Amino acid sequence: MHKLNSPKFFIYTGHVGFILLMALSVFFYQERVLFIDTVFQFFKIVNFEHFNIEAARYGTFITQIPVLAALKAGAGLKTLALVYSLSFIAVYYGVFILCAHILKNTAAGLAVLFSLVICVSKSFYHPCTETHQAIVYSLLVYALLRFSFRHALIKYLLAGAAMLLSFYSHPVALFTVLFVIFFYVTEQKKWHEKGNYLLLLVIIALTLAKLLTAREGSYESSFFNELFSFRYSASNIYHSYSFRFFIKRLPGMYFWTGIVFILAITMLFLKKQKFTAFYVLFSSAIFFFITLVTYSKGDADVMMERSFMPLAVFALLPFFVALEQFRGAKWHIFAPILLVVIFTVSVARIVGEGKISRNRVAYVMGIIDGTKAAPGRKFLLEKTGEVKQSVLYTWPFAFTTLVASSLEGPENSRTIYLYDNAENIMKYANGEMGHIFLGADFWLEWQSDVLNKKYFSLPFGKYTFLQQ
């Protein structure tokens, strides 16, 4: 029982957990790569063979390095998809190893692992969402601040670099980075360290710059507009889509997050760290409130799930830090059992969602197979209710079908564009624009000759209408 309760057991748990997540990312690689933003970004990385940075999210370049390396090595498209799916978890695993082994911060390392599963279901199959990366790099900031460097300048330079990685992965890092810095200051009583306040000033300045320079219609612009235009009242919040989304899932996906949060607050109070406990309560409430307001009108489930994901940081980091302070307590033996239960339940939820996603892949492959008897390799399909329900997001479907059909080689490449009104796309079916293939509504026309012929190939020719 002593070995079960040892620090090494917690670290081994982290390694086993990440190995399992990497196995799942390989097993469900099509489910993770072929849909939503991920397939569009994957297509652009492979097609143009260079980094693809969306919306100034420069911090995401790290997760693209493995697939670009595989491209340079001449890997096939299926291998590239496997590598891309795996690369996200591999990067997070690297951060876990850095935290737990090099920076000697098991609490931050375990928080990295559990933040990827405890509030996660559909978002496991949306790996390119930058929220994951912002969370992981925020926890790295905490581990760097806690480590005893010989020179304070080195600590703050490295913590600043990790902070920039986090912020330039996703702007939600404003909340997670602010939280971990102040948590470090309050829990470790480091009020006198001026470097912490410099980090705070930098991230606040970066946020203000984002606010002032955000283009109309961008993610940042819509975020701030909703925050400032919301009619604040208890009734409006209670009836908001975001509140109903969270409450509906509180007994399920958010149950263990709530348990961990309550245990963290309790342990902090027992250790007479009342100020830190109140800080965690206050900061969590502020983030939860802002999330309810900014997503009050709702979004697809996977996006709503992503928006609440940072709650894991507010619960997990204080929990694991407080847990270390009770290592000698008799009841501490139940901690590893609790962690195994939470991880097992979370992974089971992710696998269950994977089965649903697998049906989505089968639906897409069925449509692709149905085109093999039709002339040409460019097709038009009406965006019916069945199609919308079956593919989740319709805008990247042309890229989904192009990548999925090309996994076995470019000679099999096919693309299917979903349309609402046939009259608007007739010119592509009458042969006038045979050199064009259709992408997404916001970037509709693509020249066929821009395709990377090593992986994709669409012949000159007209589009063909498919029958349901």
**What tokens does 433 get?**
């624009």
| pLDDT tens string 52-64 | 998 888 999 999 9
- Provide the pLDDT for residue 2: 45
- What lies within 8 Å, CB to CB, of 435 at 6+ separation is 447, 448, 449, 460
Q: What does the pLDDT look like over 347-382, one tens digit per residue?
A: 999 999 999 999 999 999 999 999 988 888 999 999
The per-residue pLDDT for 344 is 97
How much is the pTM?
Answer: 0.93
DSSP strand pairing (443-447 vs 464-465): unpaired
- What's residue 137's pLDDT? 97
The better pLDDT of the pair 107, 390 is held by 107
User: Which of 388, 446, 449 lies closest to 420 in space, CA to CA?
Assistant: 388
Rounded to an integer, what distance in angstroms lies between the CA atom of residue 118 and that of residue 257? 7
- Pick the closest to residue 118 from 3, 264, 225, 7 (CA basis): 264
pLDDT digits (tens, 9 = 90+) for 31-52: 999 998 999 999 999 999 999 9
In the predicted model, what is the mean pLDDT of residues 463-467? 89
Higher-confidence residue of 185 and 171: namely 185
Mean pLDDT of 129-139: 95
Residue 9: what residue type?
F
d(CA 436, CA 463): 9
Return the SS3 of 446. Answer: strand
Statement: residue 250 has pLDDT above 70: yes
What are the distances in angstroms from CA 140 to CA 12, 65, 96, 161, 317?
Answer: 19, 20, 8, 10, 11
Contacts of 357 (CB under 8 A, 6+ apart): 28, 31, 35, 125
The residue type of 131 is T
**pLDDT band (50, 70, 90) for residue 212:** confident
Q: Is the pLDDT of residue 436 over 70?
A: yes
pLDDT at 302: 92
Cβ(427)–Cβ(438) under 8 Å?
no
Main-chain phi, psi angles of 380, to 5 degrees: -120, 130
Distance of CA 455 to the CA centre of its chain: 26
User: Tens digits of per-residue pLDDT, 260-316?
Assistant: 999 999 999 999 999 999 999 999 999 999 999 888 888 889 999 999 999 999 999
Distance between CA 196 and CA 415 in Å, rounded? 51
* Neighbouring residues of 424: CB distance < 8 A, sequence distance ≥ 6: none
> pLDDT value at position 226?
65
d(CA 417, CA 421): 12
- The residue-averaged pLDDT of 243-253 equals 95
Distance CA 144, CA 156 (A): 8
What DSSP character marks residue 214?
P
Distance CA 136, CA 63 (A): 12
3-state helix vs strand vs coil in the chain, percent to 5:
70, 5, 25
Higher pLDDT, 442 or 230: 442
What integer pLDDT is reported at residue 1 of this predicted model?
Answer: 43
The pair phi, psi for residue 127, each rounded to 5°, is -65, -25
Summary mean pLDDT of the chain: 91
Q: Are strands 378-382 and 415-419 parallel, antiparallel or unpaired?
A: parallel
The more confidently predicted of residues 385 and 140 is 140
Distinct helix (H) and strand (E) counts, the chain: 21, 5
pLDDT over 70 percentage in the chain: 94
Residue 178 exposure: Cα atoms within 13 Å on the Cβ side: 20
pLDDT on residue 208: 86
Six token digits for residue 138: 């925020």
Q: Is the dihedral of CA 420, 422, 426, 430 positive or negative?
A: positive
**Residue 273 to residues 280, 326, 359, Cα–Cα distance (Å):** 11, 13, 49
According to DSSP H, which parts of 295-396 are helical?
Answer: 301-308, 311-325, 334-370, 385-391
Predicted confidence (pLDDT) at residue 454 exceeds the cutoff of 90: yes
pLDDT of residue 229: 66
pLDDT band at 223; cut points 50, 70, 90: low
Supply the angle between the helices 397-406 and 77-97 in degrees, to the nearest 10: 100
C-alpha to C-alpha distance for 252 and 256, rounded to whole angstroms: 8
Distance CA 132, CA 136 (A): 6
DSSP secondary structure string, 154-187? HHHHHHHHHHHHHHTT-TTHHHHHHHHHHHHHHH
Say yes or no to pLDDT of 14 above 80: yes
